[in-house]
A and B are shown apart, each in its own frame.
Chain A
């Protein structure tokens, strides 16, 4: 495998692209970027547990898109245009003027809702890709030690996320095997919470016991070098972001 990019490069790229996507406000380009990022994640997959966070972020994005579209169709001011179909209008009390639930659904209204949903989903997918490409632990290694408390919180929070998914699956399986077909939220959430809490405490204790944060300065074992490649990647992404913003 080739040497990976510096973890910070990937995060900065994700942020730059996200800014560009919002500024450009073009759903097609946003979708194209998601596609490109998905391809990148697929190529660089190595079976690590945080790799799944990209898929998870896509799923969250899809849910947001669905909710945004449904809400957009049901509620809001009518946008004139090609009429697709008409929903019955809900009678609202007079103290709620200007709001309409139901009514005619136009192509324009549908597309504007879809469009906004896609933009939000893209941003989530971008950050999901950044987490799935750089392990959260690697990110901690490049965090300066003067933000020790933040560093410790960061590593716990980010390593918890993929662990949560694995644990949730394990608990679900165990309960399915006990013959619970309808899985209640409570029956998963309680063991999951207990486990995550105790795991986080263990990790924090281990870091404490090993002297993390004692010295103000910290040295680097085989430092992750900032290469020309990182410069080039950043430059290209920044150029793309600037084009998107200024257009």
Chain B
């Protein structure tokens, strides 16, 4: 279906080749995962398939790519619209109309399909993706998962033979992500659509894919079945890490496979590890906080206490009120009723330097805080603002992520590097409390790991609380001491990470699913337990 022969790609004004001498073939009805570190060229590879690269972005392409026998060199991306459907990273940025139905029909209108065909196909897709109830809704009012489904539907109406998706689940909560992935699975199996997908959270997709294209950091590319690639790759989901740590003969990609191999481990008896209990010294106190946006209630009488030295994750589905709660805590708005105290102070009254010392906040889009023209300039600015020794911020950054070029423009950094820069700027103010809103979107495992170490160090070393809102269950399992679970603006669960994550199958991390009913969340937990009993 898709043939890459000796493809190399380089962007103008860049000295680094994105892809080098890449050749592979993808058959009809295959589901292929493209993985690699951030900035390794996954998106470029995806956009080569329908010719958006280089037709839309510029760049020099050597070799040839053909889709269903058509070379992408000879035609514009639009001429492949009936063959290749593409869904971008942020579907909201690619929507052209504002009503679900019109959005689905857009491509067909542009290609002058007769009205009766359009009506029929729109109905088909609405049914296939269970979007019928949303047909007249304005797209802006849909949830993230629904928007993703609309974007997939808008590509599917053309009956494409190939569907290309760039990180389709990165903004979604685990349940919405599963919804989207099961739709893709069905397309592959029922309609024999070829699906090519890029994703960082391998644990979400690995069980569905037939083959993997792995773009390594040094520019090498390998292609093979999931087992072949994961056996030796550096980026692996927790389930493969577990298999490696336990020296299993085979690595499995689904919970079921690994469960079969680990039966004897689960059947042994282990002593329960002692959980060091934290002393109760409240840092953030939230009492009966309610908030609403134009009659729509976002928070409803939320009570919570966050102690010093504790890392607390706020979880919940999209639109459950996580961001509103964080905004109230950092003092963006005062809640309509109730009270919030951060180390005894009202966060809405904090200003300037006092604010920087009291609350460090990393927003959802870290680049909102960056405006200087080089990394060095940002660091110098932070040093001056916080009246600390020159070079401190740069040193901190170097510890988080070594080898960032100080002369690079912040916009040219990879997602992980940019987050590290923002984090070191925020930490340079030496804040008493650290609050982060969905910090790990678009980070690969390595960057996530570094990030988790930095947060743990901050919390343990200074005995200060860290509060983060996230969808990433694996990160929460590794990092958090406690989880607050929000639903419809109310806290429905508040307990240790172990209690909360184990009690909900959808939010359980992979290791917990494999090892259930043993109370282990991460590979490290399993290894410790086995070592302790041996």
Contact = CB atoms under 8 A, between A and B. Distances in A.
Q: Closest 3 A-B residue pairs measured CB to CB?
A: A206-B94, A211-B81, A221-B105
Given A137-B96, A177-B332, A205-B52, A221 B115 contact: yes
Given A48-B98, A191-B370, A221-B108, A179 B352 contact: yes
B76 interface: yes
B94 A203 contact: yes
B102 A187 contact: no
B532 interface: no
B140 A219 contact: no
Contact of B367 (A191, A203, A207, A220): A191
Interface stretch (A53-61, A107-115, A167-175): A167-175
A217 B112 contact: yes
A178 interface: yes
Interface string B398-438: 00000000000001000000000000011001000000000
Contacts of A141: 97, 102, 109
B191 interface: no
Interface string A130-155: 00000101101100010000000001
7 contacts: A170-B363, A170-B368, A173-B363, A179-B352, A202-B94, A209-B81, A211-B78
B106 interface: yes
Given A48-B140, A187-B371, A210 B106 contact: yes
B79 interface: yes
Interface string B115-158: 10011001000000000000000101000000000000011001
Interface in B364-408: 365, 367-371, 385
A177 B431 CA distance: 12
Nearest to A46: B138
Interface residues of B, number: 67
Interface in B90-118: 90, 93-98, 101-102, 105-115, 118
B330 A177 contact: yes
A190 B109 contact: no
Contacts of A212: 78, 96, 106, 110
Contacts of A174: 361, 363, 365, 368-369
B512 to A, nearest CB: 35
A160 to B, nearest CB: 11
B355 interface: yes
A213 interface: yes
Contact of B140 (A49, A179, A194, A222): A49
B332 A191 contact: no
Contact of B111 (A180, A191, A194, A215): A215
A246 B350 CA distance: 61
Contacts of A91: none
A46 B354 CA distance: 40
Interface in A75-120: none
Interface string B459-499: 00000000000000000000000000000000000000000
B50 interface: yes
B350 to A, nearest CB: 8
Contacts of A48: 98, 138, 140
B345 interface: no
Main secondary structure of the interface of A (DSSP, over half): helix
A210 B154 contact: yes
Nearest to A187: B371
A219 B114 contact: yes
Contacts of B107: 210-211
Given A210-B78, A211-B81, A218 B371 contact: no
B359 to A, nearest CB: 7
A178 B78 contact: no
B96 A213 contact: no
A199 B98 contact: no
Given A199-B93, A205-B88, A214-B79, 12 more contacts: A48-B140, A170-B365, A170-B368, A174-B365, A179-B351, A191-B369, A203-B93, A207-B96, A210-B155, A219-B113, A219-B115, A221-B105
A244 interface: no
B321 interface: no
A48, A49, A212: most-surrounded residue (chain B CB, <10 A): A212
Contact of B411 (A47, A173, A194, A213): A194
A204 interface: yes
Given A206-B93, A210-B110, A177 B359 contact: yes
Contact of A181 (B55, B98, B351, B365): B351
Nearest to B97: A137
Contacts of B84: 209
Given A177-B332, A178-B356, A221-B122, A206 B88 contact: yes
Contacts of B76: 208, 214
Nearest to A219: B112
B86 interface: yes
Contacts of A208: 52, 55-56, 76-78
Interface string B322-363: 000000001110000000000000000011111110010101
Contacts of A188: 371
Nearest to A47: B294
A175 B426 CA distance: 11
Contact of B371 (A138, A186, A210, A222): A186
B82 interface: yes
B109 A209 contact: no
A175 B368 contact: yes
Contacts of A218: 109-112
A141 B352 CA distance: 47
Contacts of A181: 351-352
Interface string A20-62: 0000000000000000000000000011110000000000000
Contact of B96 (A179, A206, A219): A206
A146 to B, nearest CB: 13
B112 A209 contact: no
